Structure 1
Amino acid sequence: MLAMCALAFAAAGPVRAAPRWTNLVTTVFHNYGRDQGLPHPVPTALAQDRDGFIWIGTQGGLTRWDGYRFRAYKADPDVPGSLPDDWVQILHVDPAGTLWIGGGAGGLARYDAPRDRFVRVPLGPSGGRTHIGAIADDGRGGLWVGTDQGLHHLNPANGAVRTTPIAIADAPVRALLRDRSGALWVGTSKGLLRRAPGSAGWTIVALDHAAVSITALYEDVEGRVWIGTQRRGLLLIDRPGARPRAVGEGPILSAGSVSAISPASPRELWVGMRGNGVVAIDVATLQPRFIRHDRTVANSLAHDDVWALLRDKAGSLWVGCMGGLSYHPRTSGLISAMLASENSVDGLSATDPQSVLATRDGRVWMGYLDGGVDVIDPAVGRVAALRPGDSGGHRTILPPDIVFALAEDRWGGVYIGTRRGLYHSGPAADGVRLVPLPGRDPQMSVTALAFDDGVLWVGGDEDGLLGVVPDRAGQPGRVLFGPKDNARLTDDGVNVIRRGLGHDLWIGTRNGLYRLDLATHAIDHIAFDATDRGALPGRNVVAMLIDRRNRLWVGTFGGGLAMMTGRDAAGRWRFHRIGVAQGLPHMNVDSLQMDGSGTIWAGTDDGLARVDPTSFAVRAVRQADGSALVDYYAGAGATSAVGEALFGAKGGLTIVRPGPLPRWTLQPPLVVTDLRIGGVTLPVAQVNQATATAPLTVPPDANSLAVEFAALDYTAPERNHYAYRLDGFDRDWTETDANRRLAIYTNLPPGNYVLRLRGSNRAGVWTERERTLPIRVLPAWYQRLWLKLVGGVLLLLGVAMIVRWRTRYLRRRQADLERQIAERTADLRAANERLGHLALTDPLTGCANRRHFLALAEDQIGAARRGGRPLCLAILDLDEFKAVNDRHGHPGGDAVLEMAGILLLDHLREGDAAGRIGGEEFAILMPNTAIADARLFADRLREAIATARITVDGLSIGVSVSMGVAELCDDEDFGRLYARADTGLYAAKQAGRNRVETVVAPAS
């Protein structure tokens, strides 16, 4: 595809080179079609209204998008106020906020938002059922409307429409533009017209071809007018009075059909093409960048037949294509992805770059999971490739197997570590040669490489570490560290090698971290210790880097990220740990890179993370930030000579340019998306208007209220947060997520209330202004005050008569009752004791029930604070409990729960409390216990449960538990203590289950 684009513009002469990666990275979209709820797969018009909703006109009706749900409007002649025409050709929002709809055959209509209906506007004597080609504001509150019958003007004072003659007779109007000077441009099927401000005459704009059909008009910030045509491409008028000139001379822009033009950013303009996708044009250089549909890339443009473009208020781009609606969120531009595509002749040749190397000449080498190597020039694309083949014993071709590692030597050559041996290529990547290494089989796996100070360090999957001094041709010479030295490594599987300060060489293996002193060959083994929060956090070390302060950072599988802080008084190496509790997306850290600004980036099994090396603050980066890839490969990363952090992932390469990643501070409008009283849907415009103050009235015969609402941050709506509160009824805010944006109230007492709604953007930043809805609940006839007073008086009289009669009767019964009471006192006391026990205890396990346990927790936390004593909380969960229920049925599951409860209660110490929180989850409160003792107690309990068995229907059943333990901090309530212990439980689950994880107190 890129080669075709280069040929298309070859005739344009020399141009300034595009910035690095510009023509290689993929513009990523989120696509919406029928499967996502779009009512018709061909969006033909786009608009954003005053409230922030996105409106999509299609060939099968109109729909409104709120980030979660499409609401469709269809034409129905039997329903008054319905859409006049299902084929929506044009959408336009005027300065007053009114949405105008131009149909393919049904004429002009406006959306009456307060009544949620459409009002037809007749055009001309025929009633105006005609094709609407364009709509533009006239600058005075009226509209210009272009149709198949010519040009029309809508008077804002009286709503009257009159036809305005134009200089080209019988020419349907397809495009309109009122420029900043007030001049009106009219694009017709036979040419382009311009009328100067205050003039009644028309000027025909001379074009290179007669009777050119004009399809789109746009004025940029510099006052240049861009002209889209049918089959004549894109034209540009640089200055007033200048002759239009072609933009580009290739077949797409010079002979293609333009459907829409929209600004994309201050530097770029997007041009929608019929059948040729989107052309992004650099407004300064006029260089094009082609955005096309790619059937091998799921999040590419939905289709190449583009009908409409829209840049929304947040700066994101919407594209209406033949295949659906494509959405490209606004990003900082710092993060982009080069995705593998079979349509690209000069991009990646495979989908899985397992190893990445940035060489000194500015190029990037990538080795693939299925074998082979590409050499990428970030300015032009792939410049060389080493293809794999069945070597059959030959030494000059890469094997068809994984390329684990790459390293550049001092002469610009590159070593290539594969599953079947080590190879060497020259700087031009014009061939390879097998490199036999002393003391090892040439076909043995090479999993890690590093070239430093003239020494090639080789890590193997089976034979540890080797250090040799190679010659210019890449062949090994003197051995510095060989097989005899590897006896001091406790694992032969080397994942990563990094040179540190002085004589330090760091080796990451499957069994921890090693430090090799290059002067003495002394080796320190830094082992993983699950019981030590300051030790190496994971056994399998797969990534390392040295930051600008010469600190070692380590990425592990299962243990997250850690920075080495030095040795303690006992000589143990200590680490500062960073995991999911601190914001890391996943505990498997595959690659670590430091960009040119000194920022640390981590590629994980669930996306990319930015780590501030000073504050250790972690920010997960998602698709809305430009990171389209989420599943990164171990060791597949590099930092380029210009400071770009590069990461190989499943599907392609992520490029992170150095620079501050801005916080997402968008204040999205908070709108009501659905409103129902007594099950009847009401128009939402009446509550979304900024001036709406009239209360919503809830009648007594329909005492129910349901309000759905949304914060219109479309970049990642699933990450928005919400809350609501009904003043006069609710004490506190009810917080909820994007899946439950619904406030429902039924059987409210009569009175006046205020419903308050809150929403956030994708970064969790709450909107500054709440949306408030005054609500009045009317009383039923039997709830009126006068009726209540009369009824009260009658009730009092009746009660008085009954009391007198009952008093005489009760006196006669008093003696009998006193005797019966005395006899039953003992029985009642015993029954009360039994009932009290049942009210506080879970009947199956014998542990305290949830309510009683929470009350105990509050008391114990208060006592611990007052006495200055430690207190710990353990949260435990039975592992794979669903499998027990599935295999043995609920009787088996109940038996396991009962057994766990018995073991738990048997292990409690004096003063401890245990409760069943819900399902298979339990909690233990340990007053007067520090974290170390709590960990020992938890491990004993875990081992006891793991070894216990119970027999049900002749079958022996056992179960293990995962536990998280946290110690109470100053000024910490039970909720925060529980959340930290639960984080430890989650970490235990992620680390393999049947284990205990402690959670350290957050830094003060």
Structure 2
Amino acid sequence: MSITAFGLAFLLSNQAWGTEITRPTDFAIESGPGLTTAAIVDLYVDEEHLWALGLDGTAALWDGKKWSKASSFPGAAKRIDDKRFVVHDLEAMPDGNWLGTNEGLVWVDEEGAEKVWMPPNRTVFSIARSVQDLFLATGPDGVWQLSGQRRHQYSLADGLPSPVANVVIEAHNHKIWVGTDRGVALLNPNGFASPLPLAPMAANIPVVDVLPHQSAKAVASDDGIVWLGKHPPNGWTSLVAAVGPYPLRILRSDADWWVLGETDLFQLDGRGNVHRWLVAGTPIDATLQGDKVVVAVAEGLFWWVPGAKVLSPISRIDGGVRSIASDPALGLWVASEDRVLLSKRDESWAVREPLAIATSNKGVWVASAEGLLRLDSEGGKTNISQKWGADPLVALCTDDEGGLWAADASGRIWGPNPEDPNVLALNTDIFRLYADGSGIWAATAEGLFHIAIK
């Protein structure tokens, strides 16, 4: 039988070395017999002996008094073609053992060792068995499932949070947990990877917007605006009461906080005073343009300028407004029903049902019914949807380096590198993405998520 670290703790404390257990939860582990060989990657015990398998492939036997070199781990020969190999993991079977080694997957029994399969990167770091299938963590090659002669690789496209898989382990319900360089994923029996790299903040509350500020976050949720962190701004409680439920957007200028509600624009000034500005129409979106606040309604655009008593209309947009975005250099971008407009240059691009806009020093992107488009200064557009999957994109943002991040309708977030897009499956509705120096923030139907960028 193979035992875990918990099982070893019980063995050390209750049997061979006689540590007294005074309560069921009172485990005291002494130094034990000691072992000066390499790191231990697996253990095996029967009624009389304990075997330890070292990282270098050597095995040692404890007879209750002393260690001695074992010719093999139970049933396992440690040489292949007379070459020493490194053993990373072992899965015990009734008639032999599966070994994960630097030479791939190896089967060992009383007759010797046989190389069974080798991933492209050669090394198998961890093995888990579910029913009759083997799951292998192969480092940069992700996770491989071996079922008879069938081989299936799980990678970023299947929802792993990272292409590098370090360890796999079976749960009691035959599901497979995968530890990667960027979090944990769960492989269900149907073969779908559900990454769990992080826990949501404001969990189970639909979050529609987030604005990181220093070490805290201002969040717009269905329960109203929420301050996550210490030391909320002066007057925040009054702002929460004034806004009520279902805010749409949160903005921050040099001294003021702004919240777009269901019918009004709210301002929390630097002195802690709350101001309410009536919006003439159904609010859709808001953004900052210099020292002005631009509000999009279904029919057009309004703005607030410093010192104004009301929101002033800017222009009526044929076909209505779907979203807006501000670019410090180029001005205000507006997505209508069938066009994307740039206010400062009075230019427009024909785009069918544009939904979200993202800008950076590297370009302008639009998520639309045509797919993901990149706009150029000559009035042209390039469809680059094939690099970001087949599902419609619903939210965009750009990071500090100008890279594009996109969320699709299936609840996945795509990173900026088309060759290695770092797909992260949150499996919930994603309403908005926001980038800051710490990573990407996702406002979703199940709370606020943070994706760290290394």
TM norm. shorter chain > 0.5: yes
Match for residue 207 of structure 2 among 344, 353, 360: 353
Secondary structure (helix, strand or coil) at the match of 1:92 reads coil
Q: State whether residues 555 and 590 of structure 1, in contact with CA within 8 Å, keep that contact through their aligned partners in structure 2.
A: yes
Q: Where does 1:92-131 land on structure 2 (aligned, <5 Å)?
A: 92=3
Report the counterpart of residue 507 of structure 1 in structure 2: 334
CA positional deviation for 1:609? 0.9
Distance 2:220 2:297 in 1: 17
The aligned amino acid for 1:553 is W
Report the counterpart of residue 559 of structure 1 in structure 2: 370
The aligned amino acid for 2:416 is V
Q: 1:806-828 CA deviation, whole Å, 9 max, x = no partner? A: xxxxxxxxxxxxxxxxxxxxxxx
Distance 1:632 1:554 in 2: 17
Does the C-alpha gap of structure 1 residues 371 and 408 become closer, same or farther in structure 2, counting only changes over 3 Å?
Answer: same
Does the C-alpha gap of structure 1 residues 145 and 647 become closer, same or farther in structure 2, counting only changes over 3 Å?
Answer: closer
Secondary structure (helix, strand or coil) at the match of 1:619 reads coil
Report the counterpart of residue 525 of structure 1 in structure 2: 348
Does the C-alpha gap of structure 1 residues 652 and 169 become closer, same or farther in structure 2, counting only changes over 3 Å?
Answer: closer
Distance 2:23 2:324 in 1: 70
Report the counterpart of residue 243 of structure 2 in structure 1: 398
CA positional deviation for 1:427? 6.3
Q: State whether residues 371 and 388 of structure 1, in contact with CA within 8 Å, keep that contact through their aligned partners in structure 2.
A: no
Q: Percent identity?
A: 11
Q: State whether residues 258 and 266 of structure 2, in contact with CA within 8 Å, keep that contact through their aligned partners in structure 1.
A: yes
Q: State whether residues 513 and 526 of structure 1, in contact with CA within 8 Å, keep that contact through their aligned partners in structure 2.
A: yes
Q: 1:253-304 CA deviation, whole Å, 9 max, x = no partner? A: xxxxxxxxxxxxxxxxxxxxxxxxxxxxxxxxxxxxxxxxxxxxxxxxxxxx
Q: State whether residues 511 and 541 of structure 1, in contact with CA within 8 Å, keep that contact through their aligned partners in structure 2.
A: yes
CA positional deviation for 1:516? 0.5
The aligned amino acid for 1:422 is L
CA positional deviation for 1:632? 0.9
Distance 1:619 1:169 in 2: 52
Report the counterpart of residue 621 of structure 1 in structure 2: 423
Does the C-alpha gap of structure 1 residues 542 and 330 become closer, same or farther in structure 2, counting only changes over 3 Å?
Answer: same
Does the C-alpha gap of structure 1 residues 424 and 478 become closer, same or farther in structure 2, counting only changes over 3 Å?
Answer: closer
Q: Where does 1:611-690 land on structure 2 (aligned, <5 Å)?
A: 611-612=416-417, 616-617=418-419, 619=421, 621-622=423-424, 627-633=425-431, 636-640=432-436, 642-659=437-454
Report the counterpart of residue 584 of structure 1 in structure 2: 389
The aligned amino acid for 2:254 is R
The aligned amino acid for 2:355 is V
Q: State whether residues 314 and 330 of structure 1, in contact with CA within 8 Å, keep that contact through their aligned partners in structure 2.
A: yes
Report the counterpart of residue 365 of structure 1 in structure 2: 218
Distance 1:426 1:317 in 2: 53
The aligned amino acid for 2:243 is L
Q: 1:232-256 CA deviation, whole Å, 9 max, x = no partner? A: xxxxxxxxxxxxxxxxxxxxxxxxx
CA positional deviation for 1:350? 5.4
Q: 1:722-749 CA deviation, whole Å, 9 max, x = no partner? A: xxxxxxxxxxxxxxxxxxxxxxxxxxxx
Secondary structure (helix, strand or coil) at the match of 1:435 reads strand
Tell me, yes or no, if structure 1 residue 466 matches structure 2 residue 293: no
Match for residue 331 of structure 1 among 177, 180, 185: 180
The aligned amino acid for 2:348 is H
CA positional deviation for 1:178? 5.0
Secondary structure (helix, strand or coil) at the match of 2:285 reads strand
Distance 2:306 2:203 in 1: 30
The aligned amino acid for 2:364 is L
Secondary structure (helix, strand or coil) at the match of 1:566 reads coil
Secondary structure (helix, strand or coil) at the match of 2:318 reads coil
Secondary structure (helix, strand or coil) at the match of 1:596 reads coil
Q: State whether residues 209 and 220 of structure 2, in contact with CA within 8 Å, keep that contact through their aligned partners in structure 1.
A: yes
Tell me, yes or no, if structure 1 residue 486 matches structure 2 residue 284: no
Tell me, yes or no, if structure 1 residue 575 matches structure 2 residue 381: yes
The aligned amino acid for 2:266 is Y
Distance 1:610 1:398 in 2: 34
CA positional deviation for 1:431? 7.3
Q: State whether residues 289 and 326 of structure 2, in contact with CA within 8 Å, keep that contact through their aligned partners in structure 1.
A: no
Distance 2:388 2:350 in 1: 25
The aligned amino acid for 2:242 is I
The aligned amino acid for 2:216 is R
Q: Where does 1:885-896 land on structure 2 (aligned, <5 Å)?
A: none
The aligned amino acid for 1:496 is I
Does the C-alpha gap of structure 1 residues 478 and 403 become closer, same or farther in structure 2, counting only changes over 3 Å?
Answer: closer
Secondary structure (helix, strand or coil) at the match of 1:486 reads strand
Report the counterpart of residue 408 of structure 1 in structure 2: 252
Match for residue 609 of structure 1 among 411, 414, 434: 414
The aligned amino acid for 1:506 is W
Q: State whether residues 13 and 21 of structure 2, in contact with CA within 8 Å, keep that contact through their aligned partners in structure 1.
A: no
Q: 1:499-548 CA deviation, whole Å, 9 max, x = no partner? A: 2524x32112333211102xxxx6333222xxxxxxxxxx2323222223
Provide the aligned C-alpha RMSD in A. 4.3
Q: 1:451-510 CA deviation, whole Å, 9 max, x = no partner? A: 13211111112x311233124xxxx3597xx53x524x21333422222524x3211233
Match for residue 433 of structure 1 among 275, 278, 282: 275
Distance 1:578 1:178 in 2: 62
Q: State whether residues 337 and 652 of structure 1, in contact with CA within 8 Å, keep that contact through their aligned partners in structure 2.
A: no
Does the C-alpha gap of structure 1 residues 454 and 92 become closer, same or farther in structure 2, counting only changes over 3 Å?
Answer: same
Q: Where does 1:177-256 land on structure 2 (aligned, <5 Å)?
A: 178-181=33-36
Distance 2:210 2:324 in 1: 13
Distance 2:232 2:175 in 1: 28
Q: 1:939-993 CA deviation, whole Å, 9 max, x = no partner? A: xxxxxxxxxxxxxxxxxxxxxxxxxxxxxxxxxxxxxxxxxxxxxxxxxxxxxxx
The aligned amino acid for 1:566 is S
The aligned amino acid for 1:468 is W
Q: State whether residues 289 and 332 of structure 2, in contact with CA within 8 Å, keep that contact through their aligned partners in structure 1.
A: no
Distance 1:591 1:362 in 2: 24
Normalized per residue, the structure richer in helix is 1
Q: Where does 1:114-193 land on structure 2 (aligned, <5 Å)?
A: 134-135=7-8, 150-151=15-16, 166=18, 178-181=33-36
Match for residue 423 of structure 1 among 266, 288, 295: 266
Secondary structure (helix, strand or coil) at the match of 2:315 reads helix
Distance 1:565 1:618 in 2: 24
Does the C-alpha gap of structure 1 residues 491 and 426 become closer, same or farther in structure 2, counting only changes over 3 Å?
Answer: same
Q: State whether residues 604 and 630 of structure 1, in contact with CA within 8 Å, keep that contact through their aligned partners in structure 2.
A: no
Tell me, yes or no, if structure 1 residue 498 matches structure 2 residue 311: no
CA positional deviation for 1:602? 0.4
RCO higher in structure (CA 8 A, sep ≥6):
2
Secondary structure (helix, strand or coil) at the match of 1:397 reads helix
Does the C-alpha gap of structure 1 residues 648 and 585 become closer, same or farther in structure 2, counting only changes over 3 Å?
Answer: farther
Does the C-alpha gap of structure 1 residues 362 and 506 become closer, same or farther in structure 2, counting only changes over 3 Å?
Answer: farther
Report the counterpart of residue 447 of structure 1 in structure 2: 284
Distance 1:365 1:602 in 2: 21
Report the counterpart of residue 78 of structure 2 in structure 1: none
Match for residue 397 of structure 2 among 582, 593, 598: 593
**Normalising to structure 2: TM-score of the pair?**
0.57
Q: State whether residues 211 and 434 of structure 2, in contact with CA within 8 Å, keep that contact through their aligned partners in structure 1.
A: yes
Distance 2:250 2:429 in 1: 20
Q: State whether residues 457 and 467 of structure 1, in contact with CA within 8 Å, keep that contact through their aligned partners in structure 2.
A: yes
Runs of 4+ displaced beyond 6 Å: 167-176, 197-201, 317-320, 380-385
The aligned amino acid for 2:265 is L
Q: 1:884-903 CA deviation, whole Å, 9 max, x = no partner? A: xxxxxxxxxxxxxxxxxxxx
Normalized per residue, the structure richer in strand is 2
Does the C-alpha gap of structure 1 residues 584 and 382 become closer, same or farther in structure 2, counting only changes over 3 Å?
Answer: farther
- Uncovered stretches (5+) of structure 2, i.e. residues with no partner: 38-61, 67-164, 184-195
Q: State whether residues 417 and 445 of structure 1, in contact with CA within 8 Å, keep that contact through their aligned partners in structure 2.
A: no
Distance 1:423 1:554 in 2: 28
Q: Where does 1:285-364 land on structure 2 (aligned, <5 Å)?
A: 314-316=166-168, 328-333=177-182, 336-339=197-200, 347-348=201-202, 351-359=205-213, 361-364=214-217
Does the C-alpha gap of structure 1 residues 414 and 637 become closer, same or farther in structure 2, counting only changes over 3 Å?
Answer: farther
CA positional deviation for 1:386? 5.7
- Uncovered stretches (5+) of structure 1, i.e. residues with no partner: 1-89, 95-132, 137-143, 152-164, 183-196, 202-312, 340-346, 390-395, 529-538, 568-572, 660-1004
Q: State whether residues 374 and 385 of structure 1, in contact with CA within 8 Å, keep that contact through their aligned partners in structure 2.
A: no
Distance 1:349 1:525 in 2: 40
Q: Which has the larger radius of gyration?
A: 1
